[in-house]
């Protein structure tokens, strides 16, 4: 089988830059301004944080976030793609709702784990850290949520599914193939008992042999 031909998509080659360590640190300080040091803290995960949190946590719960939905709406030019061949990663875009998980970190763990979490999630300022209420079976919890920054040049929406498939299939970055990222996220949601029919259908298509160009 031949590989899918590159797809020309507006915005894929838009210039971008990584945040400096000082910008990341300022963003982290701002996000934690209302956090009481020593107090436990909740973080919401909807994509790779579900299957690769990279931090220890005291508790994990299924959680529903209202007002935003999971979407492949962010170009990835490092982690799951390159500047020449960007991939797509998940963001929380406006509207609808999203089922994911919340992690409770012990207060003493926050200074230890949050700089690395910020470097991972806020490398280019593509997300807006917000404190939002997440619904769980045990009741609502205020969690730190990374929602999509629509003003970021990496933001993309309304791509036809066939274009999404072509982009994801060909892209790969420092963390591996974009296809693996999407399929792993779908698998982790399924294992957690979370139903995302649209993502399941996309992951199924990605695991089928690509047709001729």
Annotated catalytic sites, by residue? 121
Q: What is the per-residue DSSP string for the chain?
A: -PPPPP---TTTT----PPPHHHHHHHHHHHTTT--TTS-EEEEESSHHHH---S--SEEEEEEEEEEEEEEEEEESSSSS-SSS-EEEEEEEEEEEEEEEEEEEPGGGHHHHHHHHHHHH-SSS-EEEEEEEEB-TT--EEEEEEEE-TTSTTB-----HHHHHHHHHH-EETTEEHHHHHHHHHHHHHHTT---HHHHHHHHHHTSPPPP-
Q: Which residues contact 197 (CB under 8 A, 6 or more apart)?
A: none
User: Are the C-beta atoms of residues 84 and 170 closer than 8 Å to each other?
Assistant: no
């Amino acid at each position: 089988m031949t590989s899918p031909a590159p797809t020309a998509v507006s915005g894929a080659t838009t210039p971008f830059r990584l945040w400096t360590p000082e910008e990341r640190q300022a963003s982290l300080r701002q996000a934690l301004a209302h956090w009481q040091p020593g107090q436990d803290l909740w973080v919401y995960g909807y994509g790779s944080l579900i299957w690769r949190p990279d931090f220890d946590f005291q508790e994990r719960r299924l959680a529903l976030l209202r007002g935003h939905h999971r979407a492949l709406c962010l170009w990835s030019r490092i982690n799951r793609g390159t500047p020449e061949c960007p991939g797509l990663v998940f963001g929380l875009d406006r509207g609808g709702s999203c089922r994911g998980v919340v992690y409770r970190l012990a207060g003493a763990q926050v200074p230890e784990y949050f700089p690395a979490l910020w470097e991972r999630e806020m490398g280019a300022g593509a997300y807006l850290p917000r404190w939002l209420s997440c619904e769980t079976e045990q009741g609502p919890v205020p969690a730190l949520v990374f929602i999509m920054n629509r003003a970021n040049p990496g933001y993309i929406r309304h791509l036809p599914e066939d274009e999404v498939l072509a982009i994801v299939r060909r892209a790969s970055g420092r963390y591996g193939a974009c296809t693996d990222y999407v399929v792993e996220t779908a698998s982790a949601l399924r294992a957690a008992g979370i139903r995302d029919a649209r993502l399941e259908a996309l992951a199924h298509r990605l695991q089928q042999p690509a047709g001729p160009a």
